[in-house]
A and B are shown apart, each in its own frame.
Chain A
Amino acid sequence: MDEIRSSHSRLIRASGVIAGALAGIVTVVLAGTALAHRIVQPAAQPLLEATHLPPLLTTRGETNELRYDVYCARSEAEVDTPCTADGTVFARVGDTGMFQEIAVREERGASKGRYVARLPESIAQASTGFSYYAVFRSNETGMAATLPAGGSAAPQRSLPLGRSIEVALGAHSFGREREAVARVAEAAWGAGPAEAGLEQGRNLTPIGGSAFDIEEDGTVVVLDEANKRLLRWRESGEMPEAVPLAINGTQADMSIGKDGTVYVLETAGIHGEPLLRSFNRDGAGKTASAVAERPSQVRVGPEGPVVLQSSSAQWMPAAREGRPVGVSGQISAAESGRPLPDGRNIVILRNGNEVRVALVASTGVQRAWLVTSETPLAEVQLAEPHGTGVVLVTRVFTDDRDEFVVLVLDRRGIVRRFSLDSADWAETAPLSRFRVRGSFLYQLGSTPAGLFVDRFDLEVE
């Protein structure tokens, strides 16, 4: 009887604890349920997007058509209802003067762009080329899009190639890659002091060593974005110096200025706009500034870093004299060629199995090359001035093989040509696999074991 009485009294004493605990749990559950029921999903918004492959470099008599694709919808339910948009192209001879309005018409079923503007001969065949922009307005939603976004302030520029130097590569012979003069940097995958990280690991798309550059004295610098640091090799074979960087990574590109400033372009941040960050050589942060949407490359021009915006195919100044340029300033100062440190521009256009490259001065195209290949050409990884010509690295491919072709071109045509193993097991920023410094070409490569940087001599047959 005493035992029963004792249990009963323990239960009474514990009842406060039990009731409190139950009340606490029930409160959390009820609050969570109420929150869940309050979530209201937004309706899919109307949209309008336009795309265009600009004819940056043209040959005589070439098409005078500008083609655009326009995507628009009032709602998710109407995605297959053909979008109707009114468009106008504003074009002019050269890069000054008044723009002429040219109506855009629709051409259903066209594979290279459904909206077409036909330029008058006087503009399309002008010896100084032409500049243009387009404005589209959705008939359904009233939304408008200007392409490129800078409109009349920063129109797209198309230049005639003039008397280009023709280079015929013929059919590519795979399996005859050049050996490197030296392997100047090497790191296994990992997080150790001399290792480079793999963002996302091995089971998802491996991304690692996303970019690299060569300092003035030949020091190799790899952006080890997964471990949020630079790895710097002064001499091959030595342990790299690790320099921590305050970055998010995400397939970032990198370029180093002559003064040692490190520019990191974070192209794919999901937590906000793409960012250009700059750091001192010791990794101390200098600036972090927004760049226009969809950037893919950063290089250093005469006035500071310039960023390639994919959606407009234009290069934009991201900073001038150390001060960041705002997004609207970037858009309104965009240009079609990449500004080179010597004041010229370099313009590239790959179309099918043909690559056009031009060095452009203020007076127009200074020298141009037209490279054709019987084997399909993919991206142009690198085009840099070299002596009186350029170094061009492009990728040849079939459905199951690929290699890089290195061309040293001058006014006579090909001075040197060799092939390189693509060595691209891990992803990098899209055009960050090559750099030129002096007479050397450097390649950032990778295998399942790790990354490396190889050096090739451009002066040797």
Chain B
Amino acid sequence: MSYVWKFLVAFVVAFSLAGAGTAGAYHTQWVAQNCNYAAPTPTSYITRDGSITVALYARNEGYQWAGGCWNDNDVDDSPGDPKSDPNTGGEGADCSGFTFKVWREALDESSTAFHQWWRLRYIHGPYTAQRFKNGDGAPNYPLSKSAAIKMDAYASATHIGMIYVTNPDGTDQIIEALGESYGTNIWTRAYRGNSSYSAVRRLGWSQS
């Protein structure tokens, strides 16, 4: 075989193998290619309406277990990631990372300060759903479920979602990062009465 033929055959084989490997790892690249690690912007106050707006910017975006970074193109840019792998680096937050970011909390658990993290900042925060449920961290505290209002959260051992609005039938519309097959959005849920769930509030809203 001539040199040229050997070169071409090797090129095609290497290109195919490397390309396949890269394609297979595509979803692991989303965070690396799109997100940043910029410092958060401290703010002097936060409002429930403002946090709803932060959350609304994540509607129709993806879900990533242990993730915390999304854009605003209303598409899951890394669909179909394995459901039980926290290291796939795809678009979206998980439920507790989403709550941390929407409630604009600090990484320092003893701080109740308000931090605007921006949607493309990759951050999950220190709390799991169970830790939110427990009221762990200075900014989070449990409250009676019947007193929960918009932007308070219902948390179980495995999940947390925030109240958007209550429905006439007594269910709530919850804004939440639910799972790889669901992404992040507003759905009707019956968490309020379910005894697996407790109510949690972020400390320091500037309006009721």
| Interface, chain A (partner B; CB < 8 A) | 15-25, 27-29, 32, 36, 39, 41-45, 47, 49, 51-54, 56, 69, 71-73, 76, 79-80, 82-83, 108-111, 114, 199-201, 203-207, 248-251, 267-268, 270-271, 294, 296, 310-311, 313, 348-350, 355, 376-381, 394-397, 399-402, 422, 424-425, 430-431
Contact = CB atoms under 8 A, between A and B. Distances in A.
Closest A-B pairs by Cβ, 10 of them: A378-B193, A20-B10, A24-B14, A16-B6, A350-B170, A80-B50, A24-B15, A296-B188, A395-B193, A20-B7
A155 to B, nearest CB: 15
Contact of A379 (B52, B76, B171, B208): B171
B187 A251 contact: yes
B7 A41 contact: no
Nearest to A404: B193
B119 interface: yes
A379 B73 contact: no
Nearest to A39: B33
B97 interface: no
A80 B29 CA distance: 32
A313 B190 CA distance: 15
Contacts of A251: 182, 187
Contacts of B46: 80
B171 to A, nearest CB: 5
A295 to B, nearest CB: 9
Interface residues of B, number: 87
B96 to A, nearest CB: 11
A71 B54 CA distance: 10
Interface string B39-66: 0000101110111111011001010010
Given A36-B29, A204-B179, A69 B146 contact: no
Contacts of B5: 16
Nearest to A53: B166
Given A15-B3, A53-B168, A80-B47, A430 B13 contact: no
Contacts of B119: 44, 76
B14 to A, nearest CB: 3
Given A18-B10, A42-B72, A69 B165 contact: yes
Contact of B186 (A200, A294, A376, A395): A294
B168 A19 contact: no
A73 B166 contact: no
Nearest to A206: B158
A270 B183 contact: yes
A25 B16 CA distance: 9
Contact of B150 (A69, A268, A424): A69
Contact of A378 (B11, B150, B190): B190
A19 B13 CA distance: 12
A45 B186 CA distance: 18
A32 B23 CA distance: 10
Given A44-B119, A401-B195, A431-B190, A80 B45 contact: yes
A200 B83 contact: yes
Contact of A397 (B4, B7, B193): B193
Interface in B164-185: 164-171, 173, 178-183, 185
Interface in B60-92: 60, 62, 65, 71-73, 76, 79, 83-84
Contact of B171 (A32, A109, A250, A431): A431
A20 to B, nearest CB: 3
Contacts of A376: 145-146, 193
A109 B49 CA distance: 11
Given A24-B14, A270-B181, A376-B193, 9 more contacts: A24-B13, A25-B14, A43-B72, A53-B165, A110-B208, A114-B49, A270-B60, A376-B146, A399-B145
B11 A108 contact: no
B22 interface: yes
Contacts of B49: 69, 71, 82-83, 114
A20 B11 contact: yes
B195 A20 contact: no
B52 to A, nearest CB: 5
Contacts of B168: 53-54, 56, 313, 348-350
A40 B198 CA distance: 40
